[in-house]
Amino acid sequence: MMSRQAFLCSLGSLYLSLLFIFLLMDVYARPANNSALKEKPADSKDENEILPPDHLNGVKMEMDGHLNKEFHQEVFLGKEMEEFEEDSEPRKNRKKLMVIFSKVDVNNDKKIGAKEMQRWIMEKTDEHFQEAVEENKMHFRAVDPDGDGHVSWDEYKIKFLASKGFNEKEIAEKIKKNEELKIDEETQEVLDNLKDRWYQADNPPPDLLLNEEEFLSFLHPEHSRGMLKFMVKEIIRDLDQDGDKKLTLSEFISLPVGTVENQQAQDIDDDWVKDRKKEFEEVIDANHDGIVTMEELEEYMDPMNEYNALNEAKQMIAVADENQNHHLELEEILKYSEYFTGSKLMDYARNVHEEF
């Protein structure tokens, strides 16, 4: 005969089992979305394959007008940037940085000059370009289902909505029949912006079809002079408060970063304004007249501008040039490793001579 304690334990186990089954039934019974066209949440990887990236490697300003905080690291490390992020062991990072130093120092005089750094920046920027080209080939195949080498706006629109969780077959059928799509306001706004960008990437004569090269311009506007102009217009449109298609310092630093609720948030805002003010006055405003034109912003944004690369090289050297000889020695780069690589190295001086 079962004891009272055993019976209570058995009853408790049964209760927990029934409760677990009930919760499962409740989860699976809930509708995923109110839209009849929605099928399942999009896989982020699939979505990223066809959406233009928010961040462009080697470009000084983001698409939304914010400064690229990792620009110096991107043009100094190139594809090796991920290795420094993944491997935080100081000794290994120190050795990697020493190898990079030796590659930049092409004349082997144990110091890096502005021309050497300029050459390196251009090389690393081109490295990012080639990476984007290779990725574009894969992405283009994903949106060119019939493999004819051209993608229409409707073909892209179907793939985009499918990546957002809509039923691809139903969307395709409705577009074919020119029926209204039930799309939420946020998704529709994204689509409208993408359509404008699609038309800009369509080189003359316009046929509303993008080939692989035009699709690269659509995803990576930094690869096309025309798309670079379009990106600059979008940034100025977002920041320009008086509609004169130019930017004053006050307009450039007025982009909000969030509501200031405490002193820590205030400090973040102050640092943000300080960084933008310095970039505006010392770099973007080329003639120092207090106004940034579209032409000036376009030159600033162009990642393959050799003059910009030389200026950037001089700025990067100035940051760590402690002995003021206008060159960088290995010890200086190791000491300022966080600026160049995002990785802070400890005891850099003690190991430099014995390892290099």
Digit-by-digit pLDDT tens for the chain (356 residues) are 445 444 444 545 544 444 444 443 433 333 333 333 444 333 344 445 578 888 899 999 988 888 999 999 999 999 888 877 655 677 888 889 999 999 999 999 999 999 999 999 999 999 999 999 999 999 999 888 788 999 999 999 999 999 888 999 999 999 999 998 889 999 999 999 999 999 999 998 888 899 999 999 999 998 888 899 999 999 999 899 999 999 999 999 885 544 445 555 545 567 888 889 999 999 999 999 999 999 999 999 999 899 999 999 999 999 999 999 999 999 999 999 989 998 777 554 445 444 44
What single-letter DSSP state applies at residue 292? E
Kindly give the pairing relationship between strand 151-152 and strand 209-210: antiparallel
Q: Identify any residues that bridge with 247 across adjacent strands, giving them in sequence order.
A: 292
Residue 24 has a pLDDT of 39
Half-sphere exposure of 245 (CA within 13 A, CB side): 7
Environment class of 98 (CB within 10 Å of its CB; exposed 0-12, middle 13-18, buried 19+): middle
pLDDT (0 to 100) of residue 35: 36
Alpha carbon distance 260, 147 (integer Å): 51
């983001």: which residue's tokens?
62
Report pLDDT for 269. Answer: 66
- The contacts of residue 338 (CB under 8 Å, 6+ apart) are 344
- 257 touches 266 (CB < 8 A): no
Give the amino acid at 309: A
**What pTM does this model have?**
0.75
pLDDT at 8: 43
User: What tokens appear for 278 in the block?
Assistant: 């310095």
Instruction: Report which residue type is found at 229.
Output: K
Sign of CA dihedral 73, 79, 82, 85: negative
Close Cβ partners of 87 (under 8 Å, ≥ 6 residues apart): 93
Closest listed residue to residue 237, CA positions, set 223, 224, 255 = 255
